[in-house]
Amino acid sequence: MAYTGTQRTKEIGIRVELGARPSAILRSVLGDAAAQLVAGLVAGLALVLTGAWLVARLVRSFPFGTTPNEPMVYAAVVVVLTAVGLAAALVPARRATRVDPLVALRAD
């Protein structure tokens, strides 16, 4: 996310110079992060669920007291990964709201 924010420095600088509010920039950066997060969660869950169904017979023999395809476990994983992903995106998003337009336009 930090790399993506760095790539968008000129764009964000122009938007700030044209009068974009920090909340709009924060929302834009977090929206992009959320879109990437959702794509990753969908792809990851598809792979994990496929793998879980394939090894379900093996896991049934373990004495943990849960079923191999416990929906609450998958829901908890989605919630935790979403929270961690958005928290990781918050730092670059807040940094993007403080971009100096002159420095951003002169960079690279």
pLDDT at 1: 74
pLDDT for residue 106 is more than 70: yes
pTM: 0.71
Provide the mean pLDDT of the chain: 82
Provide DSSP, 30-73. Answer: HHHHHHHHHHHHHHHHHHHHHHHHHTHHHHHTS-SSS-TT-HHH
Q: What is the pLDDT of residue 108?
A: 63
Tokens standing for 52? 């879980």
Q: Tokens at residue 38, please?
A: 């959702």
Phi, psi of 98 (to 5 degrees): -105, 20
What's the CA gap between 62 and 60, in Å, rounded? 5
